[in-house]
Amino acid sequence: MGGTWTLTKMRVRLAMRNRAFFFFSLVMPLIFLFGAVTFLGRGRTEWVGYILGAILTTTVMGSFWGLSVQLVTFREQGILRRFRLAPLGAAPMLASSILSNYFLVIPVVVFEIVVCRWAFHMQSWGNLWAMFLLVTVGSATFSALGLIVASVTNTMQETQMINNLIWMGFLFLSGATIPLAIFPAWLQRVALFIPAQYLATGLESSTTRLATGYEVLEDVAALLLGLFVAFEVSRQLFRWEPEAKVPRNAKLWVLAALVPFLIFGAWESTMGNRLNRIQQNFQTLRDRSMSIPVPPAH
Amino acid sequence: MGEPVIQVENLFKSYGAVEALRGVSFAVEQGEVFGLLGPNGAGKTSTVEILEGLRTPDRGIARVCGLDPEKSGERFKERIGAVLQSTSLPDKLRVKEAVELFAQFYHRRADTDKLLKRFQLDEKRNAYYSHLSGGQKQRLALAMALVNDPEVVFLDEPTAGLDPQVRREMYDIIEELKREKKTVLLTTHYIEEAERLCDRVAIVDQGRVIALGTPRELKHSSAGTTRIEVRLARPLRNGMLAGLEGVADCREFDGTYVLHSARPPQTIVALVKQLESESNELQSLEMFSPSLEDVFIELTGRRLRE
């Protein structure tokens, strides 16, 4: 545990010294927030909570890129080799990515919530406990998913390419950028299998206070299970050496990481009522408002 | 004499079709500075990295402090310190932070402030890693290798690429480790380094140990000849110099004739006469007392840094 904490402190410090990281992880989400509330919310306070949910989702999902990608650079540059000489396993190295991402995300999330409440007159604080829970588990899960990509790719270029593809899926099928409720039915069903959908639905419900605690717990459970599996998969696939080959069974491990979301997705599409809930929530917000805002775009 | 601190028996390692190690064996005693001397690609780094637990041998036994480096995990890593052939750290990590960071991973910790002073890094304590010179980076790598006050220190080409002055500074540091009775395994392709620092040397070539002993023993084993290197205005016929008085061995490397002579004065006189008779001219002549380079040439027919 000591090693994890030591590494976490170092990585937070390094991230704060990196201007690019600072801009993309801390400044950019705030720019999105101001842009979305000002231009898409068009001053209608009923929608600020909903927009905050979407912005929080993209902020938290950003952990998918975050410091997990940094491990690829560390491996490429031979930095991980030096750490390998120390009495330190793969788990502290991976856990430090998750923890440092979390500590870097929290101030941004707090700032976004405060700005929405005080500057954009969000109607209530929303369900802060649910938000805290979802941000915590969500940040860890998306960091762990990023770690899997970092483990199976060999170069930074490759990592960015794969990350971009997955990121697009997360952004557009989660409901964070385009409300799920306006999707065709078949696409809504596909979204049930996307990890980001659980985060987006949970956060939007929490910021708008349109979900019960139990309903949000379901989102937390899906993300938590995803976190445990993704962490174990990334630990199994972790490579210290730049020339170490990706294990032959890597594809099976990557598929294993998707199992929790496949299970939740299958359950929701056959027995659950998540899609109805999403539809109802969106309708409620619509009714409260005079007009439908243009969905936030990224 | 007790159990060797480092024990290597019949080590084999291949990378695809390339056989890096082909049965390397040696043992290092407590408090000894042991050198692996050989050209690039001889198998030195593979050997050291197996002993550090970074690589898995295909066959053979590697033991450090009685532990299997690959399987003993943290228990093993607590007892060793290592400088890799090229150490890299995050650019924006400060010198002091790097030393303290690594110190915190170990149960046994050296005083990091003292380490910074000892390695003349005190003034650079707040400098980013990317702002250090090559010599400073190497001193930092050494300081990091000693943060846990290790019993065994592995130094893989610790002076490669450094200028002569910085190299001498590194020699002083390694001699200090020797005085502290640390067991040191050093790899190098610098003859001077091996002769000056090592109690014993294993000469490695093409994945095998081809000679092993103290530098003095090895030099004695090379027939105690003096090396004479000559450059001539025009090339000579094959074998002409080999017949000169006192010459035990003669080879040509890039236009330089390297003679090993048991009676240097007679050899030089004979050489001058020979050149006069052929209207050839001597461009340069240098004499060297026997060195490990001669041992290597004798055993392999090649220079160490070819």
Q: Which of A14, A18, A85 sits opposite B52 (nearest CB)?
A: A85
Interface test with B, best of A5, A11, A67, A85 (most B CBs within 10 A): A85
A190 to chain B, minimum CA–CA distance in Å? Answer: 41
For residue A297, pLDDT beyond 80: no
Beta carbons of B104 and A2 less than 8 Å apart: yes
Q: Which of B77, B86, B87 sits opposite A87 (nearest CB)?
A: B77
Decide if A6 and B90 are in contact by the 8 Å CB cutoff.
no
**How far is the alpha carbon of B145 from chain A, nearest alpha carbon, in Å?**
9
Q: What is the ipTM of this complex?
A: 0.85
DSSP codes of every residue in B147-204: TT--SEEEEESTTTT--HHHHHHHHHHHHHHHHTT-EEEEEES-HHHHHHH-SEEEEE
**What span, in angstroms and rounded, lies between the C-alpha atoms of A57 and A205?**
12
Chain B: give the shortest CA distance to residue A222, in Å. Answer: 34
| A vs B: CB pairs below 8 A | 56
For the segment A235-248, the average pLDDT, to the nearest whole number, is: 86
Q: Show the CA angle centred on residue B161, arms to residues B159 and B166, nearest 5°.
A: 55
Contacts of A7 in chain B (CB under 8 A): 101
Minimal CA separation from B87 to chain A, in Å: 7
User: pLDDT (tens digit, 9 = 90+) per residue, A249-261?
Assistant: 887 888 888 899 9
Task: Answer yes or no: do B102 and A86 touch at CB < 8 A.
Answer: yes
Query: Which residue in chain B is spatially nearest to A18 when comparing CA positions?
Result: B92
Four-residue CA torsion sign, B80, B82, B88, B89: positive
Answer yes or no: do B89 and A2 touch at CB < 8 A: no
List chain A residues with CB under 8 Å of B97: 10, 13
Residues of A in contact with B92 (CB under 8 A): 14, 17-18
Nearest CA distance, B97 vs chain A (angstrom): 8
Q: Do A111 and A16 contact (CB within 8 A), yes or no?
A: no
Q: Give the range with max mean pLDDT: A146-155, A281-290, B197-206.
A: B197-206
pLDDT in tens, chain B (306 residues): 578 999 999 999 999 899 999 999 999 999 999 999 998 889 999 999 999 999 999 999 999 999 999 998 889 999 999 999 888 999 999 999 999 999 999 999 999 999 999 899 999 999 999 999 988 999 999 999 999 999 999 999 998 888 888 888 889 999 999 999 999 999 998 888 999 999 999 999 999 999 999 998 888 776 667 888 999 988 887 678 888 888 888 888 888 898 888 888 999 999 999 889 888 888 999 988 777 887 887 778 777 765
Residue B213 to residue B197: CA distance in whole angstroms? 14
Q: Which residue of A has its CA nearest to B90?
A: A79
Q: What type of residue sits at position A73?
A: T
Nearest Cα neighbor of A57 from A187, A204, A277, A212 is A204
